[in-house]
Amino acid sequence: MRRPLSFVTLLVLLVGYAIMPGTASSHREAPLIGNDPQADNTDLYAFVSPDAPDTVTMIASYIPFEDPAGGPNFYRFGDSVLYEIKIDNNGDGVEDITYQFRFTSQVVNPNTFLYATGPITALDSPNRNMYQTYTVTRIENGKTVFTAGPMRTMYDNIGPASTPNYGGNGSGIYEFRQADGLVGRVFAGQTDDPFFLDLRVFDLLYGGNLSEAGTDSLAGFNVHSIAIQVPKSSLKASSPIIGIWATASRPATTTRASGTEASTGSFVQVSRLGMPLVNEVVIPVGQKDKWNGSIPSGDGQFLSYVTDPEVPKLLQLVYGIQAPATPRNDLVQVFLTGVPGLNQPAGVKASEMLRLNTDILPTASPARLGVLAADIQGFPNGRRLTDDVIDITLQAAVGVLGGVKTSLGDGVDRNDVAFRTTFPYLAFPHSGGNPWKLNPNPPKGH
């Protein structure tokens, strides 16, 4: 029997999809608490290039704990993130030069989520289904002086089937000519995580096992890194000492955008990194959000966390170890001003950044304890990949710069894989075809 068209059916014919009620039935409950690995700057390095001593190499890494076999949502730089490396070359705490990096995701075949549709044997292989292009822009005192690109990121190390002979089919290194006519080099893409430490130093009070200290918590993990190498002469001003920090920013949107216009406001800084461990160890938990949005020239507000640090006081309170007298001007030099005669610019304004004296030439055999081992090319004069910043910072905290003798450390002295000897120096990313890498804390010996 044929039923007459009901009211609802008529409505369907007339307005289509709108018939299903209840689209506004419940409130949205958008996810609230999450993290933002694409804008999470894990480490910053800056050093005079060992094989090209008239240049400086700067490296910033993002996306912590990349599981090498992390498909199907493979890691990439944020398309909407503004990545910046900033340089202060006169010690006033304000950037004079900025390198900006902007990424754009590209898809060859939008009908598949596969990263590779066949073996990738070149950066521009048609089998590389998802890739990113990027540009490098240099800004001097607020003015753009050039933009280079688009270039392609180095592809991820998926495994021997998708990315055979990794590293042998294109390096991902590009040269670019600056406005001053000098040539720079740049790399962006997946690499091994160059940092090495036992992360449990931050976790022990929550139930960690102290007897296991000495394992590199980051062994086997990858990150995404941006590396740039430019002639010293295009970075420094009258002083050879430059201050370097990296930021990540996201564009703000506003609720009141009128009409149908999409409006995106200015960029808001969501991460900041100069010296290692500052956010983890120096800045208290309740101040971290404030710190990530702050700028070096305003660092006076955080000064007391450096001059009057908790660590030595706790040592004295809990373990009876004598704390050095405060204020800790030795730590102010390490974290905020640079050390006089080494990497402190004249008339420096106390502000947290990595300070590098570009006149100090590379040492043939770098010492892992850097300046503490009389190797003045190393940390805290800039930071090389091999510098053991955990041990150096722990030793500085108990007053080694004031003459205290100590051999403190976390038991992890070097990276799990060897660094390369040429730009970008970072080790190749761990392959997704390596099953033990899935273990976040692999046993010692690997």
Partner 1 sequence: MRRLFTPSTIVSIAIIAAVAAMVAVANWRDVRRSRAVFSRPLASGTRGAGTKREDLSARIVDVRARVAARPDDIGLAVTLADALVRQTRITGNTGLAIEAEAALTRALVADPGNYDANRELGSLLLSQHRFREAVSAGEKNRDARPYDAINYGIIGDGHLELGEYDQAFAAFDKMMSLRPSAASYARVAYARELQGNLTGAVESMTLAADATAPEDAEALAWHHAQVGDLYLRLGKLHEADAAYVASSHAFPGHPFAMTGYARLLAARGERSSALALLQELAKTAPTPDLAARTGDLLESLGRHDEAERQYALAESGWRVDAPEPKNLARFLAEHDRKIPEAVAIAEKAASERRDIFTEDALAWAYFKAGRLSAAREAIAQALRTGSKDADIHAHAKAIEAATGQAAAR
Which residues ranging from 299 to 338 are in contact with partner 1 (CB under 8 A)?
Answer: 309-312, 314-315, 318-319, 321
Which residue reads 């290194």 in tokens? 173
Asked if residue 150 has a cis previous peptide bond (ω within 30° of 0), the answer is: yes
Choose, by CB under 8 A, the member of 180, 289, 308, 359 that binds partner 1.
Answer: 289
Among the residue ranges 22-30, 158-166, 171-179, 340-348, the one whose residues contact partner 1 (CB under 8 A): 22-30
User: Smallest distance from the beta carbon of 253 to partner 1, in angstroms?
Assistant: 4
Among the residue ranges 43-51, 146-154, 166-174, 401-409, the one whose residues contact partner 1 (CB under 8 A): 401-409
User: Smallest distance from the beta carbon of 11 to partner 1, in angstroms?
Assistant: 8
Q: Is 199 in the site for partner 1 (CB under 8 A)?
A: no
Which residue reads 């307005």 in tokens? 15
Among the residue ranges 77-85, 121-129, 367-375, 428-436, the one whose residues contact partner 1 (CB under 8 A): 77-85
- Cα 405 to chain center, whole Å? 32
- Per-position DSSP letters for 73-141, written without gaps between them: S-----TT-EEEEEEESSSSSS-SEEEEEEEEEEES-TT---SBSS---STT-TTB-EEEEEEEEEEET
User: Smallest distance from the beta carbon of 383 to partner 1, in angstroms?
Assistant: 19
User: Smallest distance from the beta carbon of 269 to partner 1, in angstroms?
Assistant: 9
CA–CA distance, 253 with 156 (Å, rounded to integer): 31
Q: Is 143 in the site for partner 1 (CB under 8 A)?
A: no
Q: Is 209 in the site for partner 1 (CB under 8 A)?
A: no
Among the residue ranges 137-145, 355-363, 372-380, 394-402, the one whose residues contact partner 1 (CB under 8 A): 394-402
Q: Is 421 in the site for partner 1 (CB under 8 A)?
A: no
User: Smallest distance from the beta carbon of 190 to partner 1, in angstroms?
Assistant: 13
User: Smallest distance from the beta carbon of 395 to partner 1, in angstroms?
Assistant: 9
Size of the site for partner 1 (CB under 8 A): 100
CA–CA distance, 402 with 253 (Å, rounded to integer): 49
- Cα 30 to chain center, whole Å? 28
- The residues, ordered by sequence, that sit 6+ positions from 143 with a Cβ below 8 Å of its Cβ are none
CA–CA distance, 84 with 89 (Å, rounded to integer): 16
Looking at residue 338, what DSSP letter applies? -
Q: Which CB atom, from 252 or from 361, has the smaller least distance to partner 1?
A: 252
Residue pair 44/273 in contact by the 8 Å Cβ criterion: yes
Amino acid identity of residue 323, one-letter, is: A
Q: Which CB atom, from 279 or from 381, has the smaller least distance to partner 1?
A: 279
Q: Is 403 in the site for partner 1 (CB under 8 A)?
A: no
Residue pair 56/47 in contact by the 8 Å Cβ criterion: yes
User: Smallest distance from the beta carbon of 26 to partner 1, in angstroms?
Assistant: 6
Q: Is 250 in the site for partner 1 (CB under 8 A)?
A: yes
Among the residue ranges 90-98, 226-234, 239-247, 254-262, the one whose residues contact partner 1 (CB under 8 A): 254-262
Choose, by CB under 8 A, the member of 165, 238, 260, 365 that binds partner 1.
Answer: 260
Q: Count other Cβ atoms within 10 Å, centred on residue 200.
A: 18
* Per-residue mark of binding to partner 1, 103-142 (x: CB under 8 A): -------x--x-----------------------------
CA–CA distance, 338 with 46 (Å, rounded to integer): 14
Paired tokens of 266: 């200015």
Q: Is 281 in the site for partner 1 (CB under 8 A)?
A: yes
Q: Is 18 in the site for partner 1 (CB under 8 A)?
A: yes
Q: Which CB atom, from 299 or from 410, has the smaller least distance to partner 1?
A: 410
Looking at residue 121, what DSSP letter applies? -
Q: Is 339 in the site for partner 1 (CB under 8 A)?
A: no
CA–CA distance, 380 with 352 (Å, rounded to integer): 12
Of 61, 86, 76, 31, give the one whose Cα is nearest residue 269: 86
Q: Which CB atom, from 104 or from 233, has the smaller least distance to partner 1?
A: 104
Q: Is 397 in the site for partner 1 (CB under 8 A)?
A: yes
Geometric angle at alpha carbon 205, from 196 and 396, rounded to 5°:
50
Q: Is 35 in the site for partner 1 (CB under 8 A)?
A: yes
Q: Is 438 in the site for partner 1 (CB under 8 A)?
A: no
Of 125, 115, 224, give the one whose Cα is nearest residue 169: 125
Paired tokens of 383: 């930071």
- Per-position DSSP letters for 44-65, written without gaps between them: EEEEE-TT-TTEEEEEEEEEEE
Residue pair 419/425 in contact by the 8 Å Cβ criterion: yes
Footprint of partner 1 on residues 50-69 (CB under 8 A)? 64-65
Q: Which CB atom, from 258 or from 365, has the smaller least distance to partner 1?
A: 258
* Per-residue mark of binding to partner 1, 79-108 (x: CB under 8 A): xx----------------------------
Paired tokens of 442: 């692999």
